Amino acid sequence: MTNEIITTDLPQPALQELRWARDVLQHRGIADRLTELVGTPITASIRLLPDVTEDLLYRAIDRSLKAALDVAVRTLGQSDGDGSSPSLRTHKLLAGISGAAGGVLGGATVAAELPVSTVLILRSVADIARSEGEDLSDLETRLACLEVFALDPGKGSDIDDQTEIGYFAVRAAMAKQIKDATQYITKNGLGGSVAPPLVKLISQIGKRFGLVVSEKIAAQAVPVIGAIGGALINSYFIDHYQDLARAHFAIRRLERQHGADLIRRAYESLPSENK
């Protein structure tokens, strides 16, 4: 009865959109999508890579997120928010081209290719945010675009909450980092991204983004993957984050329309498809 009361407080279109968003945010992890693509489980493949490759990977992740932070702060707010449909295909095409180079040259190109892909994804995420009515002239909103990199529903991390790693738990864990980073940048500027609030923000995002990137690199390491496979994997990679962004900013729009508390209670009260 309680669940029925909560969900019927929302108009049916809003409830349907919330159900779709929850399905994306809870059930569509990148690992399963890449496993279907390459035809073999890739979760263990990263363990076969040399330690030096793993070290290179995480340094590339850190560099990529710093580049994305720089773009978020300096350029994302320059376009007017007209609510028009996002141009997702262009970003996906460019990501595919970038992935093709990585597929040809192998994992050694990750340090050069990953920052490019990450910034392309961020720009696509911002485009989606703008189409959902977000004000990208607001710095905190621009940093919320970075938050999407932490939303993959796959295996969790020690992102602060050891018992729950769902969508709202991630948002709650990220909220203080985004607020602190916003206040620091507003007062001091971006600087070299080495101030504690900025380091903490990048670190928190990197814990979960790194899991997804590891799966991507492991898939590219499968012997049958070449230039075409690299391009396709990168297309899957950006498509995955576009889906997460659509769901994330749809929920934020619903929160503005119906109240954050109601949307969260309705989200959590929706019956699982597995029940």
C-alpha 63/C-alpha 242 separation (Å) is: 21
Q: Residue 47 carries which DSSP code?
A: G
| C-alpha distances in Å from residue 62, one per residue of 38, 65, 199, 219 | 27, 5, 10, 20
Q: Which of 172, 163, 198, 199 is nearest to 73 (CA)?
A: 198
Other Cβ atoms closer than 10 A to 235: 18
Q: Is the pLDDT of residue 253 over 70?
A: yes
Q: Which of the pair, 253 or 73, is modelled with greater confidence?
A: 253
Q: Give the chain's mean pLDDT.
A: 76
More confident residue, 108 or 145: 145
pLDDT (average), residues 78-96: 50
**0.85 exceeded by pTM:** no
Cα 217 → chain centroid: 16
Closest CA to 67 of 193, 180, 176, 211: 193
Give CA–CA dist 171/147, Å, rounded. 8
Per-residue pLDDT, 150: 92
Residue 77 has pLDDT above 80, yes or no: no
- The pLDDT tens digits for 120-139 are 889 889 989 999 999 999 99
- pLDDT at res. 109: 63
Measured distance CA(244)–CA(208) in Å, rounded: 14
| 161: helix, strand or coil | coil
pLDDT for the residue numbered 14: 94
**Cα angle vertex 20, ends 14, 25, to 5°?**
120
- Binning pLDDT at 50, 70 and 90, where does residue 245 land? very high
Please name which of 60, 51, 21, 50 lies closest in space to residue 153, comparing C-alpha atoms: 21
Q: Are 24 and 246 in contact (CB under 8 A)?
A: yes
Q: Give the pLDDT score at 233.
A: 74
Residue 120 to residues 20, 49, 199, 232, 268: CA-CA distances in angstroms?
A: 25, 26, 22, 15, 32
pLDDT at residue number 237: 81
Q: According to the model, what pLDDT value does residue 183 have?
A: 92
Residue 101: is its pLDDT beyond 80?
no
| Residues 130-184: tens digit of each pLDDT | 999 999 999 999 999 999 999 987 654 444 443 346 899 999 999 999 999 999 9
pLDDT given for residue 100 in this prediction: 45
Say whether pLDDT at 33 is over 70. Answer: no
pLDDT at 252: 96
